């Protein structure tokens, strides 16, 4: 996988800050791991979230390249900058998620109709509630024997799917309805911040920024809450609860149900009860209610949600800032 090495790296998921390779070399272990993790997740993804699985063909089909070994990729980018034991520490954490990884799809082709349907959606809460109501109806359907376990697994997964759809529809609708939040999303997103724009490419970047953002949002795996959480915080001013361990664990169960037919990595299978369905419903519903409550206070009409990120120095000026200046000058001279 060929990439041009950046002169600097994003140093935080949530704030607009960078770190050079020489600064990274002198940083503490925690900072080094966070910077490497941001870089790795911007370039690679778990095949379980995006690749078809064919048992007859030997497992996942790596349609976006790979398989890539986390340690090899980290060494290729950060070898000589970060000590071996720190690289291995992060590689071990990534191996726990997936032994092999695939690349990210940066194809500009995407379904415009699909994105437009997301942007126009305004009944996110009603749709989520409708889905939960249907799940509970099916939960009460009498089914005996082994088929009951199959039904419960499907319902468990569908709760997470309903939450994913809500998060996606809510976020896309918010930044589409409020252009200032869209701009804020671009300025605070680690992947966009890391891109360098040559002066000769400024106008192309200006004309293509909307499609680029749309493509990114269509590709987001919305049950990856560790990545979705800073998006809501930085762009919308909506903070997820600090304690989300139970929901994170429920999403891991969902992964086993979808990609391992219910089998756990450590052995055995998930055996679900109706109480498990109600528990995951309560977890998902709690997050949805928290988002709805906060949005009433932070959306642009209330002020705080529309606050622009501050730029403390010329080093914080991004390609998007330059594009905005050109936009203003162009309008003034028309």
- Rounded to whole angstroms, how far apart are CA atoms 220 and 223? 9
Do 43 and 78 form a contact (C-beta atoms < 8 A)?
no
Residues in Cβ contact with 267 at an 8 Å cutoff, skipping those fewer than 6 apart:
none
> What sign does the CA torsion over 33, 37, 43, 47 have?
positive
Q: Which residues of 188-216 are buried (b: 16+ CB within 10 A; e: fewer)?
A: bbbbbbbeeeeeeeeeebbeebeeebbbb
Reported as a single tens digit per residue, the pLDDT across 88-139 is 999 988 888 888 888 886 554 445 545 555 555 557 888 999 999 999 999 9
Model-level pTM? 0.58
Both tokens of 107, joined, read 């194809």
Bond from prior residue into 176 cis (ω within 30 degrees of 0)? no
Both tokens of 168, joined, read 């996606």
Q: Which residue has the tokens 């993804």?
A: 45
Alpha-carbon separation of residue 112 from 212, 255, 292 (angstroms): 12, 28, 27
Q: Which helix (H) or strand (E) holds 9?
A: strand 8-10
Mean pLDDT by 10 residues, the chain (334 residues): 57 65 88 89 83 71 83 89 91 86 66 52 82 92 85 94 92 86 84 70 67 74 84 90 91 87 84 94 95 83 41 42 50 45
- Beta bridge partners, 68, equal 101
Q: Which residue has the tokens 């997103």?
A: 189
**Domain limits, the chain:** 8-102, 112-322
Reported as a single tens digit per residue, the pLDDT across 117-131 is 555 555 788 899 999
- Rounded to whole angstroms, how far apart are CA atoms 74 and 9? 13
């Amino acid at each position: 996988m060929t990439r041009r090495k950046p002169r600097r790296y994003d140093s935080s998921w949530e704030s607009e800050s960078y770190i050079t390779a020489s600064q990274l070399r002198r940083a503490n272990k925690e900072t080094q791991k966070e910077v490497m993790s941001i870089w790795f997740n911007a370039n690679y993804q778990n095949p379980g979230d995006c690749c078809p699985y064919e048992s007859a063909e030997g497992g996942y089909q790596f349609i976006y390249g790979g398989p890539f070994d986390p340690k090899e990729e980290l060494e290729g980018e950060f070898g000589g900058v970060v000590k071996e034991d720190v690289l291995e520490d992060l590689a071990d954490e990534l191996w726990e998620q997936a032994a092999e990884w695939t690349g990210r799809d940066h194809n500009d082709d995407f379904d415009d109709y699909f994105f437009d349907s997301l942007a126009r959606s305004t009944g996110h809460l009603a749709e989520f509630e409708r889905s939960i109501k249907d799940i509970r109806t099916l939960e009460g359907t009498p089914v005996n024997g082994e088929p009951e376990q199959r039904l419960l697994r499907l319902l468990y997964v569908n709760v997470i799917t309903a939450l994913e759809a809500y998060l996606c529809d809510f976020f896309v609708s918010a930044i589409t309805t409020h252009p200032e939040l869209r701009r804020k999303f671009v300025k605070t997103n680690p992947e966009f911040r890391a891109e360098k724009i040559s002066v000769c490419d400024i106008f192309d970047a200006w004309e293509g920024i909307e499609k680029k953002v749309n493509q990114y949002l269509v590709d987001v795996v919305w049950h990856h809450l560790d990545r979705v959480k800073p998006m809501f915080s930085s762009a919308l001013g909506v903070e997820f609860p600090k304690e989300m361990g139970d929901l994170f664990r429920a999403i891991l169960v969902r992964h086993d149900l979808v990609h391992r037919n219910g089998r756990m990595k450590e052995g055995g299978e998930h055996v679900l009860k109706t109480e498990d369905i109600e528990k995951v419903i309560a977890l998902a519903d709690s997050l949805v209610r928290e988002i709805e409550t906060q949005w009433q206070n932070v959306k642009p009409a209330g002020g705080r949600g529309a606050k622009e990120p501050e730029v403390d120095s010329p080093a914080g000026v991004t390609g998007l800032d330059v594009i905005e200046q050109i936009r203003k000058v162009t309008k003034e001279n028309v």
